[in-house]
Amino acid sequence: MRRISEMYERSGGCDYKHTCEECGHIYIETGKTRWGHRQQEASCRLYTQLYGPAVWNPKWGACKFFREQQQEPKQMSLWEFIGGTD
């Protein structure tokens, strides 16, 4: 069975409005190929916990375990801190 199909079955379906790349459960691993080239691969944290590590296609349609990614809090600039306007 395709890996994403496993997640659709587990979660109860596809969240067709989103893709895995928008999900907070996806992460990027940086490794090296056997020729020493730098390589980045995506993985689903939930799938990894359930079945073990697997390469993930970030363009797949999200499953129902989709979770919004946490946004980093916006850092205030010095100009905003001293009350300036631009």
Per CB under 6 A, residues contacting ligand SF4 are 7, 20, 23, 25-26, 44, 46-47, 62-63, 65-66
Give the integer Cα–Cα distance in Å for 28 and 32.
Answer: 13
Write a three-state SS string for 46-75: HHHHHHCCCCECCCCEEECCCCECCCCCCC
CB of 74 to ligand SF4, least distance (A): 25
CB of 66 to ligand SF4, least distance (A): 4
- By beta-carbon proximity to ligand SF4, the closer residue of 13 and 77 is 13
In the DSSP assignment, the letter for residue 12 is: T
- By beta-carbon proximity to ligand SF4, the closer residue of 31 and 44 is 44
